[in-house]
Amino acid sequence: MNLAQFPRRGYLQGPTPIESLANFSEALGNKVNIWMKRDDLLPGCGGGNKTRKLDYSFADAIEQGADTIVTCGAVQSNHCRLTASWAVKESMDCHLVLEERVKGSYHSDASGNNFLFQVLGTKSITVVPGGSDMMQEMQKVADKLTAAGKKTYIIPGGASNAIGATGYVACAQEMLQQLFEMKLSIDHVVVPSGSAGTHAGMVSGLVGNNAHIPITGINVSRPKDLQEKIVHDLAVLTAERVGVEQEVPEKSVVCFDNYVGPGYSLPTDAMIEAVKLLAATEAILLDPVYSGKTMAGCIDLVRKDYFAGCENILFLHTGGSPALYAYLDTFR
């Protein structure tokens, strides 16, 4: 598995830290030592995991001669924020298609990522109803831009295709090297599972490196069975792309859908507890849509002894804290 063969833009400035959450672990009864991989500290406006994926996506776009990026996400999308951010750095136009998964939730004057879309000079924002065919909606925008003379490149939601997920194969390798250097053995990894690219890339990377570390995804929207299939399918495609010789077993993909609550992006009491507890014990901010619900799941699994027999677990922090400012009333 030689990742150097794949073009990337070099957005990363080095490995993101792995930190001990000693105070947080103590607050949960010291049942297990919790560590955190700080991908919230990745470069790009506001930071977050999408930078790893966009490193490869933008490289492919530039190789194809694109001058304009079209991508999609939900209202307050972290992926859209970071795509707009890297488009600025690459002197490319960026057009967003936002899916209003909760009717009436899009407000052009909202805070959080919606505000940052404007600050970053996004060329256009198209809002479509929840359940829309997002690839089709992006293609409509791209077709109009192409007709106007632009060279467009479509990045799927979350940059979650085999190109983008390669960034998290690289993350798995980075993490394993750090653990070796730290003389730290991790028994389990917990990740958010949304558009699937991060989860799938980590699975492919761990399988490809014969790490034998189980990984659990906490769903932010879809039912368990559907999400596990989507993640596994993408993990297989990603493994094929990067040259993993081993089969990616279906049992390597495990998801929990118990922590979604009433729906994608809708607050839960457990999410609020998770955000407040981590902030109060470690001064680290989570976001209300992805990492907050994932940490809520992690907390519950610790309390239910899901990690019994484990000494150390690692939580992958995917960032997204700018979205907190769109949820002020939730935390007051």
- Write out the catalytic residue numbers: 77
Contacts of residue 263, Cβ cutoff 8 Å, sequence gap at least 6: 101, 102, 221
Give yes or no for a contact between 314 and 186, defined as CB atoms under 8 angstroms apart. yes
Q: What is the DSSP letter of 155?
A: E
What's the token pair of residue 113? 């990522």
Q: CA 206, CA 328: separation in Å to the nearest integer?
A: 37
Which conformational region is residue 196 in: left (phi greater than 0), alpha (psi within -120 to 50 degrees), or beta?
A: left
| Four-point Cα dihedral 89, 93, 97, 102, nearest 10 | 40
Q: CA 158, CA 315: separation in Å to the nearest integer?
A: 19
Q: DSSP readout, 239-256?
A: HHHHT--S---GGG-EEE
Beta-strand runs (E) in the chain: 18-20, 33-38, 68-74, 93-100, 124-129, 152-155, 188-193, 215-219, 254-256, 312-317
